[in-house]
Amino acid sequence: MHHEHRPHQDIVYPSAIPFVLTHLVCFAAIWTGVSLQALGVAVVLYFVRMWAITAGYHRYFSHRSYKTSRVMQFLIAFLGQTSAQRGVIWWAAVHRHHHLHSDTEHDVHSPGLHGFWYSHVGWIFNPSNSEPDYGTVKDLTRYPELVWLDKQVYAPAILLGFGIWAWGGWPMLVVGFFWSTVVLFHCTFFINSLAHVSGSQRYLTGDDSRNNFWLALITLGEGWHNNHHHYQSSTRQGFRWWEVDISYYVLKAMSLCRLVWDLRAPPEAIVRGDKPVGRKVLEKVAGELAGSFSIEGISASVREAWTESHALEDLALRARRARGQVEARLAELSLPHLPTIPELREKAEEMFQESPSIDAIVQRAHELLAAAVAAHLCDAALAGAY
């Protein structure tokens, strides 16, 4: 089922009210005070729950990049839900949808299409995103305990908050729990927004994913986002030795104790970027390259060059009979003013990082340009422009 993900700026999402109140509660520290102990708890809760999101929600439940026991699976899911970032199955379903449609019109949180703040937080409260396609997470819904936990959306977070309050009182609740929760919100959300805006792109992925060292530090390794989009099934997202990935280090230590196992690693050819891109990425990148040229401008130049030609008159006649035939005829012709293969390659080298697929991308972009110009001329012919 198709869902409309466009932001609605003319309404206030009711589900955003608790989120706003959570932020406002943080100001209660003016009255409760801020102790070093509460700050220490806030730091611990931030990193423990960030690990549960990155190593659990993301690398395990969304991408199944390693294996663990059913008990550990539930414990990681429960710990992740103490972050108040909705249910584990909901999170995984939305994230898998993101990877299928990254930075396209179907992506629920693309900053390039919907704007930074909507991709950072606004999309979460859009009613159209409240029910993702659970058909993509059948590997998770077969566990009744996970289905039950997913329905108890905020219960783990409430239990944690109550426990913190019972242990340390109001200062501990406000600073230890709420402060860490709010910071955790936004540092996690930065991967959806900032990691598609700021940083470097090592690999050609067909989207705006980027590697960002500072984001990797505060998110325990998630900032190596371009690496991740290049090879999603890898447990380790910091591909190079110097790319700090704390979530992976913890998982590696856990694997020594057999708490988790079968951690996936990217093949050397993947790390080096030697493997050609898949068809989906090739089509998207070639389309982006073709789209960097003006179809209208090229078509106008073609029409001007062919003003004295009988070819267009013939095509106009054919167009009235069969649109498909005229598009095929135009696509076969050597269109003047169409960018050449060398020109397309030069443009591609400006737009994209080096890739073994660059020749295939350029060739496909040339085909797409020819077809687009042909279709444009066909439309004009059908409209009686000739």
Mean of the per-residue pLDDT values for the chain? 84
Q: Which of 220, 254, 272 is the last residue of a domain?
A: 272
Q: Which of 144-148, 155-159, 236-240, 362-366 shows the lowest per-residue confidence on average (mean pLDDT)?
A: 362-366
Query: Is residue 234 domain-resident?
Result: yes
Helices 323-332 and 358-382 cross at an angle (nearest 10°) of 130
Instruction: DSSP letter for 191, please.
Output: T
* Rounded Cα distance, 73 and 292, in Å: 46
Residue 11 banded pLDDT, cuts 50, 70, 90: very low
Are 297 and 347 in the same domain? yes
When pLDDT is cut at 50, 70 and 90, the band that residue 331 belongs to is low
For residues 129 and 162, membership in a common domain is answered with yes
Single residue among 218, 240, 272 that ends a domain in this structure? 272
Q: What is the DSSP letter of 280?
A: H
**Residues 12-36: tens digit of each pLDDT:** 567 788 899 999 999 999 999 999 9
Q: What is the DSSP letter of 211?
A: B
Decide: 81 and 88 in contact? Cβ < 8 Å: yes
Q: Are residues 45 and 174 in the same domain?
A: yes
- CB-CB contact of 175 with 42 (8 Å): yes
Residue 71 in any domain: the answer is yes
CA nearest to 15, candidates 131, 149, 114, 111: 131
Residue 4 lies in a domain: no
Question: Same domain for 199 and 324?
Answer: no
Using alpha carbons, select from 90, 128, 106 the residue that is nearest to residue 13: 128
- Mean pLDDT, residues 46-68: 97
Lowest mean pLDDT across 49-53, 76-80, 101-105, 220-224: 101-105
What's the pLDDT score for residue 313?
56
Lowest model confidence (mean pLDDT) among 75-89, 144-158, 248-262, 366-380: 366-380
Which SS3 state, helix, strand or coil, does residue 200 take? strand
Asked if residues 210 and 195 have their Cβ atoms less than 8 Å apart, the reply is yes
Q: Are residues 149 and 233 part of one domain?
A: yes
The proportion of the chain whose per-residue pLDDT surpasses 90, expressed as a percent, equals 52
Three-state DSSP class for residue 247: helix
- 323 in the same domain as 354: yes
* Winning range, highest mean pLDDT, from 300-314, 321-335, 361-375: 361-375
The per-residue pLDDT for range 346-362, each reduced to its tens digit, is 776 666 667 777 777 77
Q: Same domain, yes or no, for 86 and 225?
A: yes
Evaluate whether residue 153 is within a structural domain: yes
| Contact residues for 188 (Cβ-Cβ < 8 A; gap 6+) | 50, 53, 83, 85, 219
Confirm whether 11 is domain-assigned. no
Decide if 9 is inside a domain.
no
How much is the pLDDT for 305? 60
Q: Is-contact 201 226, C-beta < 8 A?
A: yes
On whether residue 365 sits in a domain, the answer given is: yes
Looking at 245, 272, 299, the residue that finishes a domain is 272
Per-residue pLDDT for 306 more than 80?
no
Instruction: Say whether both 146 and 283 belong to one domain.
Output: no
174 and 316 share one domain: no
The Cα 67–Cα 56 span in angstroms is 11
Query: Domain containing 306: what range?
Result: 279-382
Asked whether residue 74 is domain-assigned, the answer is: yes
| Alpha-carbon span 230 to 317, nearest angstrom | 48
Q: Are residues 47 and 187 in the same domain?
A: yes
Number of domains in the chain: 2
